[in-house]
Chains A and B, each alone.
Chain A
């Protein structure tokens, strides 16, 4: 059970980390509002 929790926490934590990383880069380049503007026209 403990192992499963570690897996879930690690995956969720990593996804959050990379989400914020992508978000910050896109924001710094394009001044997009917080909330990743994933598919700009």
Chain B
């Protein structure tokens, strides 16, 4: 028992160690100001004398038929997709491996090992696309690349070292899996996993510093000349921590979705019940991780957008109220698809659990609520209309649906979807258990009442948002989020206490899963990827005609905001290329398990050699 406690404590410490860089430090630069070129750290004058180059269109090299912006766009997007995958996989491989020790269940270890196998090819492709992006930047945007490297020169060496460390530890971690499997050696292996994650996170955070600086530059004056020699000022720009947090959580969700797709692919191609059971379990575990990370993701996104607004209201309004606002409607559709897909997968999965029939009638109500919330989320504030249509409607806003287009309605819908997706997970988790404790009935009533009142509070705060000034409206979203989190916490605590000595209604029949449920996992992976491409475009596109917002102007012929249709086409192209490459990764992992049967003459020759005693 003591050993179990020790293992849990070490595991928790390991996970929390990964989160340390996300903790914001007290620094004046965190409070961004309107007007970008500011530094709030008073120091001795900087020694650096360079400034951001003032470019002309002819300063940009051209490769003829290649559109520079789109080439860099696709290369960066592909690098980001693979980077997200290979940074996420070691995080949850470490967690799954640790769970395997804690639960003394070798299934966890096998799955963790297999997931690493899939991501090994992805590691090479990450490096390849990273190289492609660097070449594209050096060749097509040399002046910009030179300037940003001058600013971040001291960090580049750490980036390279972290990259080398990542490569060395990654291969050691993977190939030593069977050699360091049990006892103390397993702890050495876990430490390698932790080290791998440390390198991975360092790479992410350094890259985020560069990206953040392009969005919210600090430590330079209006001409781009550094006003400080303190590199920390540039790194810790206002966008850095929100981006770190958002990408950290999103990467886990994304990695889970891609591994879920791999499990679905293996499940559908499995021929034996054992294999089906194994990949069904893997699909469930990956989906569980993906959705667990997805639930807090909208809140991290909210922090990120709040920081953009705090830095530059203009940039915030461009994102949420200008041309990019329509992409947020597409985002709502994709997130709705993800939530519906994840719920559908769970509802299908309940069929393999004895006792789940108790909860089957509730599914249709959960589905109805999620669909309704989904419809509210995707309702636009205004739509593009002809004059005739406007006359019929009586203005540019629908009198009936117009109010659903603003944030209080969206926040209420998002929290409702999260709340009811959690409910699906919750019912799935307790489907085959019956508590034998005398207070179980009262505990269930408490949970039902708490859930209902929390939802009522979320709806109340949503309606409240319409009746008060904007500042109150925005702030009302915070207690909404806390209401959702309270439900998650309270229900999980009461439920785990209730089911301490629970009676099982039968084992989970892994593998007894419909084929169509697996397509929900594919849907999740594709939706996540596409969503990342579209939202990534918004994040980058709101800089508009600036390489570095308000500091270094993009003077190239591509410095315009493309039409939504065109932008979606490019994002979709990157998504399709990535999907093809991911299928290649799956295929490589598959063929590594195939062994060709020896030819008859080879077998005969071996038999002869053995007969002669050679």
A interface list, Cβ under 8 A from B = 3, 6-7, 10-11, 13-15, 17-18, 21-22, 25-26, 29-30, 38-40
Contacts and interface: CB of A to CB of B under 8 A. Distances in A.
Contact of B483 (A10, A11, A21): A21
Interface stretch (B111-119, B235-243, B472-480): B472-480
B475 A10 contact: no
Interface residues of B, number: 23
Nearest to B448: A10
Contact of B449 (A11, A22, A26, A38): A11
Given A3-B441, A21-B479, A38 B454 contact: no
21 contacts: A3-B445, A10-B445, A10-B450, A11-B449, A11-B452, A11-B453, A13-B449, A14-B453, A15-B453, A17-B453, A17-B486, A18-B454, A21-B486, A22-B457, A22-B461, A22-B479, A25-B478, A25-B482, A29-B478, A30-B475, A40-B468
B467 interface: yes
Interface in B409-464: 441-442, 445-446, 448-450, 452-454, 457, 461, 464
B472 A7 contact: no
Contacts of B483: 18, 21
Nearest to B474: A29
B469 interface: yes
B interface: dominant SS:
helix
B344 to A, nearest CB: 30
A interface: dominant SS:
helix
A10 B446 contact: yes
A7 B453 CA distance: 12
Contacts of A6: 442, 445-446
Contacts of A26: 472, 475, 479
Contact of B479 (A13, A14, A15, A25): A25
The 5 nearest A-B residue pairs measured at CB: A10-B449, A14-B453, A18-B457, A25-B479, A10-B446
Contact of A14 (B441, B450, B468, B472): B450
Nearest to B458: A18
Given A14-B453, A14-B454, A22-B479, A7 B445 contact: yes
A26 B450 CA distance: 21
Contact of B453 (A18, A38, A39): A18
A14 B447 CA distance: 10
Nearest to B441: A3
A36 to B, nearest CB: 10
Interface of B: 441-442, 445-446, 448-450, 452-454, 457, 461, 464, 467-469, 472, 475, 478-479, 482-483, 486
B449 A7 contact: yes
Nearest to A25: B479
Nearest to B451: A14
A13 B475 CA distance: 24
A33 to B, nearest CB: 15
B417 to A, nearest CB: 19
Contacts of A22: 457, 461, 479
A25 B475 contact: yes
B475 A29 contact: yes
A9 to B, nearest CB: 8
A25 B477 CA distance: 10
Given A6-B445, A18-B453, 8 more contacts: A3-B445, A6-B442, A10-B445, A10-B450, A14-B449, A17-B453, A22-B457, A40-B468
A32 B351 CA distance: 51
A38 B464 contact: yes
Q: In this complex, which of A7, A14, A22, A40 has the most chain B Cβ atoms within 10 angstroms of its Cβ?
A: A14
A20 to B, nearest CB: 10
A39 B457 CA distance: 16
B486 A39 contact: no
Nearest to A16: B453
Contacts of A38: 464
B525 to A, nearest CB: 36
A35 to B, nearest CB: 16
Contacts of B472: 26, 30, 40
Contacts of B486: 17-18, 21
Nearest to B481: A25
Contacts of A18: 453-454, 457, 479, 483, 486
A11 B475 CA distance: 25
Contacts of A3: 441, 445
Nearest to A10: B449
A10 B461 CA distance: 21
A12 B468 CA distance: 26
Contacts of A21: 457, 479, 482-483, 486
Nearest to A2: B442
A7 to B, nearest CB: 6
Q: In this complex, which of A11, A30, A39 has the most chain B Cβ atoms within 10 angstroms of its Cβ?
A: A11
A13 B494 CA distance: 15
A38 B448 CA distance: 27
A10 B454 CA distance: 12
Contacts of A11: 449, 452-453
